[in-house]
Structure 1
């Protein structure tokens, strides 16, 4: 007994003529008749009787048809699920992301991505990059999007993009008219600093020391979005990542190039204990292309 024989049997039960059954199966009439004969030989009893030139199912055929319908329905459901998986339209995953990504950029990108992936279910949480690396390693999330000190992630990671940090300045600040701010321009300025576990905080601190620059700072915070809010509210400056520049909605703030360059490396990290869903890699590709395009156009992501 084969699946093709059962399909021919079902087609004949519904159409009641070999001609229509053959058309439904896209095969010849002799091929359809042969499939039915082979099925009858397999089950050991006749399935149809011919009366006055017409086919009538036997009682045994009616009983068998009920089981065939249930079985073929299951096959169709499996085939549909397989097609959905193949098209990366079906999946559920948890993304743990660095705050600068999780606050605005990823919600915006997920909203647009899920319009074409309607069966997708996503959980998005925000954590420090060091915490996310532990979460991925201990299977507490499906994927991490982090800031690393290098553009080369682990073998289970994928580099997203490396972007220059910018300096955030109040619109009415004396330095706002400059297109690029050098570290020496910061002598005596008031700065909002990132928390000590932020890579940019450490790199910026080393840069100040190496150039003998002293700044005033009495506020620390752990997100670039919060740093920008402080900048908008007064006469202070902040070094922020380029993702924040693409998504921050404020009007009383400007972002300028900063030198020497402070690069921020973004990466996606995947779990080692199970295969990565195709839809996850599709989303990572979507994030990479969307951010790269926004940077190239010198515009906003939102």
Structure 2
């Protein structure tokens, strides 16, 4: 089995015809048939049934093609990576972030990064913290920002500056008249809660339990940004990471400090399998700087 045989096999699968595959590859039909026969002989099973002069994939051939197609997808990614290096000179970076920082801290850091490394193409994806940890730990992404519920074992990291929680509410809400919000103030209030696994929510619930306060949970969501959007629509109040509230105040959202303080903690995660490049170090420095300023 060799690459050329697999290339011919893929062309047959895509075109469903040996003659058409030959046209696509710019070779003769006998060359296609010979390569297919050699591939089947090497594999030990038939890839196609010959039915009235046409090629119909066998069940084994269909199963085998899933892996072949995945391999060619990997090659396409390599070609794209090579093209980026050729066209932009400095390669690329892949960054994953939890939602709270993905539309605030990270864009500000990338603004400064672009000035330092204009030739580096950056891919940014916003995802859940556990998934951020997974894609960085597996080497799919170069850098990630995740909340403190993730397992840090086996992955290099740096702690980001903590954010102190604020209470988000719509304009005109009764709690907006208070200078700051405490656990007792949330008792009986329609409340938009973060996901149960969120460590900041767990820290908040400890304070609520100690005060005997029982908010009425009306919505649960994993993202502080979504809490802000729901609060703005009058669904309820919520305790959020202030980094996620940027842009909502201008639209009418009211924020009040929450006391006692509830910390939102995040970590900058690095790939464990390679040394950090100059670009990764530069972006990490800017991310920590922007998180501190934010």
Normalised by the length of structure 1, the TM-score is 0.62
1:194 maps onto 2:184 in alignment: no
TM-align CA RMSD: 2.3
Give a deviation string over 1:65-98, Cα, whole Å, max 9, x none. xxxxxxxxxxxxxxxxxxxxxxxx9341111111
1:149, 1:264 within 8 Å by CA — same for their partners in 2? no
1:168 maps onto 2:184 in alignment: no
1:153, 1:159 within 8 Å by CA — same for their partners in 2? no
> 1:153, 1:107 → 2: CA distance?
28
1:92, 1:121 within 8 Å by CA — same for their partners in 2? yes
Q: Does the residue aligned with 2:276 lie in a helix, a strand or coil?
A: coil
The 5 Å alignment of 1:95-106 reads 95-106=95-106
* Counterpart for residue 144 of structure 1: 144
Give the superposition deviation at 1:250: 4.1
Q: Which runs of 5+ in 1 are unaligned?
A: 1-88, 295-302
The 5 Å alignment of 1:1-302 reads 90-148=90-148, 156-234=156-234, 236-248=236-248, 250-294=250-294
* Counterpart for residue 26 of structure 1: none
2:190, 2:236 within 8 Å by CA — same for their partners in 1? yes
Give the superposition deviation at 1:214: 1.0
> 1:164, 1:153 → 2: CA distance?
26
2:208, 2:214 within 8 Å by CA — same for their partners in 1? yes
* Counterpart for residue 37 of structure 2: none
> 2:149, 2:259 → 1: CA distance?
18
2:144, 2:268 within 8 Å by CA — same for their partners in 1? yes
> 1:247, 1:147 → 2: CA distance?
21
> 1:172, 1:126 → 2: CA distance?
32
2:95, 2:122 within 8 Å by CA — same for their partners in 1? yes
Q: How many residues align?
A: 205
Give a deviation string over 1:258-277, Cα, whole Å, max 9, x none. 11211111211111110111
Normalised by the length of structure 2, the TM-score is 0.64
Give the superposition deviation at 1:122: 0.9
> 2:96, 2:290 → 1: CA distance?
19
The 3 A distance-change label for structure 1 pair 268 and 153 is farther
Comparing 195-204 with 164-173, greater Cα deviation is found at: 195-204
> 2:242, 2:134 → 1: CA distance?
25
Give a deviation string over 1:227-260, Cα, whole Å, max 9, x none. 1111111161111112113454542111111112
Give the superposition deviation at 1:124: 0.9
> 2:284, 2:199 → 1: CA distance?
22
2:149, 2:198 within 8 Å by CA — same for their partners in 1? no
Q: Does the residue aligned with 2:121 lie in a helix, a strand or coil?
A: strand
* Counterpart for residue 58 of structure 2: none
2:137, 2:155 within 8 Å by CA — same for their partners in 1? no
* Counterpart for residue 8 of structure 1: none
The 3 A distance-change label for structure 1 pair 136 and 261 is same
